[in-house]
Amino acid sequence: MNRLIAAAKTEWLKIRKAKIFFISIAAMCLLPCVCGLFLAILQNPESAASGMLAQKAHIMGATDWTSYFGLLNEMMSVGGILIFGFITAWAFGREYSDRTAKDLFAMPIPRSVIVYAKYIALVIWCLLLTVIALVVAVILGLIINPPGFSLSALLNGSGIFIICVLLTVLLITPVSFFASFGKGYLSPLGFIIFTILLGQVAEIAGVGGYCPWNMPAIYAGVAKDTVSAAGYLLFIVLVVLGLGGTLAWWRYADQK
């Protein structure tokens, strides 16, 4: 346990000192800022600088707190996959790009400890980004002051947002495998783009409930599909396979 804690602290130190840490915060803050911009335009349509921008803002529908959080959750269901996937690709892929993987393989600790430490640091990173985005969203909402504010609306919207984030965080395990298997950034980034396209195709085909990457959007109420027991099973199997594949790759990496 002490080794795991020490390794997790080391991984977190790497993250805090990297430029991508601040870039990820800026990217995550962009989600509530865009939602706040659309809300402000809908409340003051005559002040919109662009007619096209005003038309885009109308995807929110009503200008209340429920619609505001609905758009935030919609953006999170896609933006979270991109942001969390990107930082996962960085956390695992950088070891190969920076040529530090061989040093980690030579360390006198189980390689599974290194993998778990990376996951712990990534989860902390993702949760920190979630808190920042949620705080920014609430502050912007209070400033713009749409109708329908209540403690229950705030808690309900925040609760859905957090669960969407947790579902998205679980989907980082296959990304970590492709980052390890591909020994860099390109393979996991290509995989992330593929999963987003796959989710869209599955929804159009009417089988979105069976696509694990649609799970956050379905829970948020963005996608109209329903998730069956088979859909939940596929989600769990994907997460477990991603975790198991990553652990196995790191265990036998120097033998390949």
Residues 199-213 have pLDDT tens digits of 888 888 888 888 888
pTM, 2 dp: 0.88
State the helix-helix crossing angle for 172-181 and 151-170, rounded to 10 degrees: 30
What does the angle CA 18 – CA 238 – CA 191 come to, to the nearest 5 degrees?
50
| Angle, CA 90 vertex, CA 88 and CA 93 arms, to 5° | 100
Would you say residue 172 has pLDDT above 90?
yes
What is the residue extent of each domain of the chain?
Answer: 2-255
In sign, the C-alpha dihedral spanning 127, 132, 135, 137 is: negative
Q: Is residue 93 within 8 Å of residue 181, measured between CB atoms?
A: no
The whole-number pLDDT of residue 168 equals 92
Q: Distance (Å, rounded) from C-alpha 166 to C-alpha 152?
A: 21
In this prediction, residue 78 has a pLDDT band, given cuts at 50, 70 and 90, of confident
Amino acid sitting at position 37: L
Specify the residue for token string 């002490």. Answer: 2
